Amino acid sequence: MISSYACDHMTADAEFLLSKAKYKATTGREQRRDADVLCYQIRQSFKPGEITPEEANRVGYETAMRWTKGKYAFFVATHTDRQHIHNHIYYNSTSLDCSHKFRDFIGSARAVRRLSDRVCLENDLSVIADPKFHSKGRFLHYGAWLGTERQSSYKERLRHAIRDALAKGPAGFNAFLQLMEEAGFTVKRGRGGAISFLVPGQQRATRLRSSTLGEGYDPEDIRAVIAGKRPLPEVGVPAPAAPARVNLIVDIQERLRDRKGPAYERWAKVYNLKQMAAALQFMQELGLTEYDQLAAQTEEDVQRFHVLTGQLRQTEADLAHTSELMGAVVQYAKTRPVFDGYKEAKYSKKYLATHEVELADYRAAKATLNDLLDGARLPRMPELKEKRRTLAAQKKTLYADYRAAQQRMRAAVAVKANIDHLPGLTDQRKNKEQER
């Protein structure tokens, strides 16, 4: 899945090269060979099973837009070829107006990570709270980080091995430990009689205790199992089943006319029964007993979804406006001393030639401020920061409500549509309307 801004992803390389040539022709400046970068890349990964490709692409697009502030062309490619969905964001090193280049800076990786984390949190997605580093201070590769985060797999293997060893009926605790060693697990004894196991391939031993492995895995629990005073510990707690999603029922007769066979008919009947059961469950959970109640509830859910959609879009627009205003204020404050020096030099051509880029940034920042403020008073930076924090928190809350309302609306609409297909219901409603 690919989305783009101010370019076509199929011809992005040619467009980026063309903008670079325009930059050279317009400004007369030529980049050093070792600094002549065509585009930059941002890689953004998500927790497996937490996001759809469509949502990932939208989050990547939002991240790229806020990083480039809409001044650089970019495209976002969302990959689903790995267990984790991830984005590759490519943005042009030359601005849209071909007047300046993107300036990479020390700490840019940290800055883009903070921005990506902020966008993910605003969209109710997981982030790495404390990213781990290499010894040289570089971030761990995603695969390496994911490997460290998957210590639960070692724990799963350890729980299975403990259960298997206990199932063999060891005579005592030492015999149990011997069985674990025979299974390939290294037994480590610590202070106070603490027992730890090192799973093959594991770097750090896992302590034998309930807080680490779960209920039933304390040494005393193991001794109780050996003595026959309690059953074998559970390997793991099964995850709760996902709630059934209500989908539209299938028009069997129409599909049969499309040359579907008896096998399809059997499948469709079972499928429709499941959907009607889900519809019934939905109505029971809401305490709905009449069709009119369902229709009113559906209308209410649709209206609530549209209201939240409008509120979310307005909040996003306000947040983007505030963020852009903050960026313009910072840029203006950084470049204003250069302009003051230009004035003190009585608009010297020599000074202009030396500080041409900074003065251009100053004019751009000033023009942006004028456009964004539209005659209003310039707020102070603490006020802007507080406003952005408030809007970000508001957006996060609204987005959670929006997602819940969306799911609720989709379920209600599907339930109503399915019940509308019940034989005789539509005819009965038409007759009632005619009687009125």
pLDDT at position 300 over 80: yes
pLDDT at position 193 over 70: yes
The residue ranking higher by pLDDT, 309 or 374, is 309
Weakest mean pLDDT among 9-23, 276-290, 327-341: 276-290
* Residue 243 binned pLDDT confidence (cut-offs 50, 70, 90): very low
pLDDT at position 244 over 50: no
Q: Roughly how many angstroms between the first and final C-alpha of the chain, as a whole number?
A: 52
User: Residues 325, 316, 57, 308: what is their CA dihedral angle, to the nearest 10 degrees?
Assistant: 180
* Residue 255 binned pLDDT confidence (cut-offs 50, 70, 90): low
Question: How many Cβ atoms from other residues are within 10 Å of residue 69's Cβ?
Answer: 14
pLDDT at position 259 over 80: no
The residue ranking higher by pLDDT, 126 or 284, is 126
Region 314-330: mean pLDDT is 87
pLDDT at position 428 over 60: no
pLDDT at position 146 over 80: no
* Residue 211 binned pLDDT confidence (cut-offs 50, 70, 90): confident
pLDDT at position 38 over 60: yes
Query: Do 389 and 396 meet the contact criterion of CB atoms below 8 Å apart?
Result: no
The confidence score (pLDDT) of residue 189 equals: 87
Residue with tokens 């404050």: 333
The confidence score (pLDDT) of residue 426 equals: 47
Region 387-398: mean pLDDT is 89
Region 140-164: mean pLDDT is 64
From 227, 94, 110, select the one nearest 166 (Cα to Cα): 227
Average pLDDT, the chain: 81
The confidence score (pLDDT) of residue 128 equals: 77
pLDDT at position 422 over 70: no
Query: Do 114 and 131 meet the contact criterion of CB atoms below 8 Å apart?
Result: no
pTM over 0.75: no
Weakest mean pLDDT among 50-54, 113-117, 263-267, 350-354: 263-267
The confidence score (pLDDT) of residue 71 equals: 94
pLDDT digits (tens, 9 = 90+) for 342-362: 888 888 888 888 888 888 888
The confidence score (pLDDT) of residue 238 equals: 39
The residue ranking higher by pLDDT, 217 or 253, is 217
Distance CA 68, CA 411 (A): 38
Query: Do 301 and 435 meet the contact criterion of CB atoms below 8 Å apart?
Result: no
pLDDT at position 240 over 60: no
Q: Amino acid letter at 9? A: H
The confidence score (pLDDT) of residue 130 equals: 57
pLDDT at position 159 over 70: yes
The confidence score (pLDDT) of residue 222 equals: 92
From 267, 266, 298, 300, select the one nearest 282 (Cα to Cα): 298
Weakest mean pLDDT among 117-121, 132-136, 228-232: 132-136
Among 14-28, 61-75, 136-150, 316-330, top mean pLDDT goes to 61-75
Weakest mean pLDDT among 22-36, 194-208, 248-262, 342-356: 248-262
